[in-house]
Amino acid sequence: MCGRMTMTHPDDAMARLFQAAPSNDLPDVPRYNICPTQAVGVVTSGPRGRRLRPMRWGFVPHWYKTPTDGPLLINARAETIAEKPAFRAAVRERRCLIPATGFYEWTKDADGNRLPWYFVAKGEGPLVFAGIWQDWGQGDDRVTACAIVTTGASDWMAATHHREPVVLAPGDWARWLGETGEKAAPLMRPAPEGFYDRWRVDPTVNSNRAEGEGLTRPIAA
């Protein structure tokens, strides 16, 4: 699962990292509480090379009459992505990279209170999630939207949540983007042991209106 994330790395640094041409309308950074339906920077690949471009976080199947006509699809399960009508064409033809600095997950205490945890790569370099995308609608109603691919959690992650985002190593970016002609299915797996750091953060982040660097600061667990 991945339902909130952060992005603090500058757009120009991300464009260089992915060797992608950046769009002029990328979301402002830093961002410490990116929520579903908001825009995120996404890397796609096409005949003219890679692009770093904004997309709505929340996939919109082609049969929706409006972007809110059905469930909000922010994640796509690796185990069923190739069969689900909403995702099967996209995972074959429109895979993307979704960079982030970190993401949040929640546990509950004995009283049912939601306790947020913040996850980053060790060393706090960028995370690169496997994603899928597609266009929906036409003209002024056109929406370009994406979803993060998730898989069953590793033993370490399962202490917090039973799902985790599929994170891609640099050597796998081209393969996921379809640039090498290799099958991408083997990449849909949990992060290796020791990949993440995590710490408790203040419940202020439970509000989707909260923002600021303080949301990611550690507190006592």
pLDDT digits over 151-188, tens only?
999 999 999 999 999 999 999 999 999 999 999 999 99
- Predicted local distance difference test score (pLDDT) of residue 1: 64
Q: What percent of the chain has a predicted confidence (pLDDT) above 90?
A: 95
Q: What's the fold here for domain 5-216?
A: hypothetical protein yedk fold (3.90.1680)
| β-bridge partners, 129 | 98, 167
pLDDT per residue as tens digits for the range 30-79: 999 999 999 999 999 999 999 999 999 999 999 999 999 999 999 999 99
pLDDT per residue as tens digits for the range 82-103: 999 999 999 999 999 999 999 9
Q: Please name the residue that has the structure tokens 């997309």.
A: 55
Do the Cβ atoms of 45 and 179 come closer than 8 Å? yes
Cα separation, 113 vs 111, in Å, equals 6
Average pLDDT, the chain: 96
Average pLDDT over residues 194-215: 96
Q: What percent of the chain has a predicted confidence (pLDDT) above 70?
A: 100
Whether residue 146 is predicted with pLDDT greater than 70 in this model: the reply is yes
